[in-house]
Homo-oligomer: A and B are copies of this chain.
Amino acid sequence: MRLVLEAAGQQYAEPANESKSGAKEVYSRIDRNSTGDEDGNPPQLAPPMLKVKNAGKNGKTLVISQTANLLLYLGTELGLAGEDDVDKYYVNQFALTALDICDEIHSTHHPVSSSLYYEDQAEEAQRKAKDFRETRMPKFMGFFERVLKSNEEKGHGKYLVGSSLTYADTSFFLIVESLHYCFPKELKAREKDYPLIFTKFYPGIKEEKGIKEYLASGRRIPYSNKCLFRYYPELDRQ
Which residues of chain A have a CB within 8 Å of any CB of chain B? 32-36, 42-43, 45, 55-57, 62, 64-66, 68-69, 72-73, 86, 89-90, 92-93, 96-97, 103, 107, 111-113, 115-116, 121, 124, 127-128, 131, 135, 139-140, 142-143, 146-147, 149-151, 161
Contacts and interface: CB of A to CB of B under 8 A. Distances in A.
B35 A62 contact: no
B92 A113 contact: no
Given A43-B143, A143-B43, A147-B42, A89 B69 contact: yes
Given A113-B128, A128-B113, A66 B92 contact: yes
Contacts of A73: 89
A133 to B, nearest CB: 12
List of 3 A-B pairs having minimum Cβ-Cβ separation, nearest first: A36-B150, A113-B131, A66-B96
A107 B64 CA distance: 26
B43 A64 contact: no
26 contacts: A32-B139, A33-B146, A42-B146, A42-B147, A42-B161, A43-B146, A45-B97, A45-B139, A64-B89, A64-B90, A66-B93, A66-B96, A68-B92, A69-B92, A69-B93, A69-B96, A72-B89, A72-B92, A73-B89, A107-B107, A111-B112, A111-B128, A112-B124, A112-B131, A115-B131, A124-B127
A45 B139 CA distance: 8
B96 A124 contact: no
A96 to B, nearest CB: 4
Given A32-B142, A135-B113, A142-B32, A90 B42 contact: yes
Contacts of A90: 42, 64
A207 to B, nearest CB: 24
Contacts of A56: 86
A105 to B, nearest CB: 14
Contact of A64 (B34, B93, B142): B93
